[in-house]
Copies of this chain bind each other. A is one copy, B any other.
């Protein structure tokens, strides 16, 4: 099981590259086995081209590696904090994707003015606090912000995006969609104000997407 998770987490990093969410080594994916007390995360500072399932780092829920090997991502403490406090979450992604990070640099939530955003995020994408790396501050900021929102993504101020999901793939999807809507709403706002979507319509779209979209067996 953990071997399969190593491969899944390794392979999902290619989606970060393919969707232009990362520069150099600045972005990472982690996953845990549902209900488990271990998670798998990218090693620190290793190029995406050089990642292999074996190089992934297995950590306990305090973010400590459970084996000798490469050092885990410098963002590991934040991932661990999320897993400790959000039992339904089994995937976490962190990126500095351009448009989402630009909203984060201004400390501005992305307003829900696209049906695709209502579908995936159920409303605005919120802003979390400024927090320094190296302790629980980033993880706490992620958890406290997402606790009050439907959104599976949070813009950490002056920093970047954290996204969560019931699986690592779902968290990657949220990261991809976050950048996509961050860019589209940015572009819309450059030449005027987008038309708001009524809250009842946002609610209706979110409800339908969460319950009807996709193949029933693969959700």
- Interface residues contributed by chain A, number (CB under 8 Å): 63
Query: CA of A24 to CA of B133 in the docked complex: distance in angstroms?
Result: 30
Known contacts A176-B24, A191-B189, A215 near B43 by CB under 8 Å: yes
A105 at interface by CB-CB < 8 Å: yes
Partner-contacting stretch, out of A32-40, A145-153, A200-208: A200-208
Query: CA of A173 to CA of B195 in the docked complex: distance in angstroms?
Result: 28
A53 at interface by CB-CB < 8 Å: no
Instruction: List residues 123-180 of chain A with CB under 8 A from any CB of chain B.
Output: 130, 132-134, 157-160, 173, 176-177, 179-180
**A195 with B23: CB separation less than 8 A:** no
Smallest CB separation, A26 vs chain B (Å): 6
**B194 with A158: CB separation less than 8 A:** yes
Neighbouring B residues of A214 by C-beta, 8 Å: 44-45, 71
**Can you show 16 pairs from A to B with CB atoms below 8 A apart?**
A19-B23, A24-B177, A44-B213, A45-B215, A45-B219, A96-B184, A98-B184, A102-B184, A105-B185, A106-B192, A108-B191, A114-B159, A116-B159, A116-B160, A130-B195, A186-B187
